[in-house]
Amino acid sequence: MESQPTYCPQCDKTVRVAWTSSVAHEAHATIPDGGKLLCFDVGEDCEGMICPLSRNSTLLMGVRLARSGEVPYEVWPHDLLKCRGCGRKTGMEVLDSGHAFCPICGTTNTRKI
Ligand SMILES: [Zn+2]
């Protein structure tokens, strides 16, 4: 997936974004309406905000990025937690201070702070 730099007014910096279902690499006109924005720089800086680029919560943006598989597992910060989805204790991909994503079953879990 090809990312492109875009200025984010919320984070006041340039972030890398991509579309989940772009069919062609040409122009914006070829991107279907259903294409979902992925932000590769979603993180602590924007936690609890509404992403101004996608108008989704930053938690949703984190979940979407985790599900996309675009970021290698090793790159995510991890937390060893028991999953309420599959019941296994595993190193979860930390989405924000309150949530983590299970790489085994894809459940978003609540973290105790
Ligand atoms: Zn799980």
Comparing CA positions, the residue from 54, 70, 64, 73 lying closest to residue 11 is 54
| Domain interval for residue 109 | 75-113
Whether residue 54 sits in one domain with residue 15: yes
Tell me, what's the pLDDT at 45?
Answer: 84
Contact 99, 59 (CB under 8 A): yes
Whether residue 21 sits in one domain with residue 59: yes
Whether residue 100 sits in one domain with residue 57: no
Whether residue 66 sits in one domain with residue 85: no
Give me the residues near ligand 1 (ion), CB cutoff below 5 Å.
83, 85-86, 102, 104-105, 107
Contact 60, 79 (CB under 8 A): no
DSSP-based helix, strand, coil % in the chain, nearest 5: 20, 30, 50
Ligand 1 centroid–CA 10 distance in Å is 32
pLDDT of 32 higher than 80: no
Which helix (DSSP H) or strand (DSSP E) does residue 67 occupy?
A: helix 58-68
Whether residue 63 sits in one domain with residue 88: no
Ligand 1 centroid–CA 94 distance in Å is 13
Whether residue 43 sits in one domain with residue 8: yes
Buried b (16+ CB within 10 A) or exposed e, 72-110: eeeebeeeebebeeeeeebbbbbbbeebbbbbeeeebbe
State the pTM of this model.
0.81
Ligand 1 centroid–CA 91 distance in Å is 10
On average, the pLDDT of the chain sits at 87
pLDDT digits (tens, 9 = 90+) for 54-99: 999 999 999 999 998 889 999 899 999 999 999 999 999 999 999 9
Tokens standing for residue 42: 């979603």
